[in-house]
Chain A
Amino acid sequence: MAETIETDVLIIGAGPVGLFAVFELGLLGLNAHVIDVLDKPGGQCAELYPEKPIYDIPAWPVISGKELTDKLLEQIKPFAPTFHYNDMVQGIEGNVNDGFKITTDDHKTFMTKVVIIAAGGGSFQPKRPPIQGIEAFDGTSVYYAVRNREEFRDKKLLIVGGGDSALDWCLNLQPIAAHITLLHRRQDFRAAPDSVRKMRALVDQGKMDFIVGQVSELLGQDGRLEAAVLKTDKDERQIAVDRLLPFFGLTMKLGPISDWNLELEGNAIKVGTETYCTSRPGVFAIGDINTYPGKLKLILSGFHESALMAHAAKAITHPDERVVFQYTTSSKNLHKKLGVA
């Protein structure tokens, strides 16, 4: 259903920089909606390296990607941002005088005075296996995520991959699917050992199949998959399949950003370093997605950029209010906003 949401500020991307922008905007009294194509906050830190240590966050000698995300969420809690996950921003229309209209894949519409692009390396998209003709089955027989379990009831499923997504969905869909084949390139799995044990038990009980190999061909017509040809060490074989679920992780794609009428340099958005405004007034770009002379793609650079951007954004949303510079340590006004007064 079409739904229009009005807001002062819309942030595209819930990576560390988008999250900290919520904080800096919140201190100035601006509430934000945040959209991310992922199903969770944290961007690269959450998707690519939740368990890996980061050593260059000021005052944190070491912190993991997940811990940093959790701490940022705790820090921005007083500002109660509204998150919209599993959704991708497609279009930005309008201008700074009339406001911007933002549209998403999920058919949501936002009216906002200011747009903050914190899109990092681009939107995270599933890695699509280079099997000839696979696009023809996209969304009808080939799925990269399970949004609706019922879609898979009584179907013959081919699940490919060796990580947690592949194993979790095998276990989750096995009770309702007509049949499941798990295909992986080797005997060993990087998924949680417990899931692997449960999967092997189902195979032993004859309740699903596990095959070592790769998909070489898909057969079917009109978007309806009928069979897949699998290449194994020993042979090439054909199995009947209604639904294919490939799980090879995610990769970052620039996506629709190149259609937003912004001056780009390579895959990055050009900004000025005074306010991090793009070539389109009222549209700001912060974090990994922007570029300027001397840019370093570091989390701490994005944090700095957030603070300067917020002051410029406030001047647009509330042109008649004077923005006073204040410290969080001493300002009674900021204490109230932070809920510590």
Chain B
Amino acid sequence: MKLIVTDVDKTVHEIAFNPDDILMHVLRAAEMGILAECDGCCVCATCHIYVDAEWLGKLEPIDDDEEDMLDEACTPQENSRLSCQIQLTPQHDGMKLTIGPEWD
């Protein structure tokens, strides 16, 4: 199973994952430039990604903690998510996403 990831330099990568993996861990292991300062505790918003619109509906809906934390993400949009809050399933095979910009 794989993800199609566009990094901050606009390079597209295919990255393998296993069901039940946390998306942030997969992106970090693949060195996609995810800072993930709080290591998945949902308190830093430095694991911010944009999910391609057609895949958004396949993700668990965003909860209040994640929505609150997105306030501290760099340039959030409608399709913003925090990758540490997303557990992957076989349904996400082929999912397209873009790494969010980093803070100065």
Q: Is the interface of B mostly helix, strand, loop or mixed?
A: loop
Partner of A127, one of B38, B41, B76, B103: B103
Residues of B within 8 A of A (CB): 35, 37-38, 41, 43-46, 67-68, 70-72, 74-76, 101, 103-104
A contact residues around B67 at 8 Å (CB) = 186, 188
Partner of B74, one of A48, A130, A162, A163: A130
Q: Known contacts A188-B67, A251-B103: does B72 contact A48 (CB below 8 Å)?
A: no
A contact residues around B38 at 8 Å (CB) = 48-49
A contact residues around B72 at 8 Å (CB) = 127, 163, 248-249
Partner of A48, one of B43, B68, B70, B103: B43
Partner of A128, one of B44, B45, B70, B103: B103
Partner of B68, one of A52, A127, A190, A251: A190
Task: State the 6 A-B residue pairs at the shortest beta-carbon distance, nearest first.
Answer: A190-B68, A128-B104, A249-B72, A127-B103, A162-B71, A48-B43
| Interface size, A (range) | 20 to 34
Q: Known contacts A188-B67, A251-B46, A251-B103: does B75 contact A130 (CB below 8 Å)?
A: yes
Partner of A161, one of B41, B45, B71, B74: B71
Q: Counting CB contacts under 8 A, is A252 at the interface?
A: yes
Question: Which of B44, B45, B67 has the largest count of A CB atoms less than 10 A from its CB?
Answer: B44
> 1/0 per residue A94-137: CB within 8 Å of B?
00000000000000000000000000010000011110000000
Residues of A within 8 A of B (CB): 48-49, 52, 121, 127-130, 161-163, 184-186, 188, 190, 214, 248-249, 251-252
A contact residues around B104 at 8 Å (CB) = 127-130
Check A52–B41 contact: CB distance below 8 A: yes
Cα A251 to Cα B74 in complex, Å, equals 12
Check A130–B101 contact: CB distance below 8 A: yes
Return 22 A-B CB contacts under 8 Å, by A number: A48-B38, A49-B38, A49-B41, A49-B43, A127-B72, A127-B103, A127-B104, A129-B74, A129-B75, A130-B75, A130-B104, A161-B71, A163-B71, A185-B70, A185-B71, A186-B67, A249-B44, A249-B45, A251-B37, A251-B46, A251-B103, A252-B37
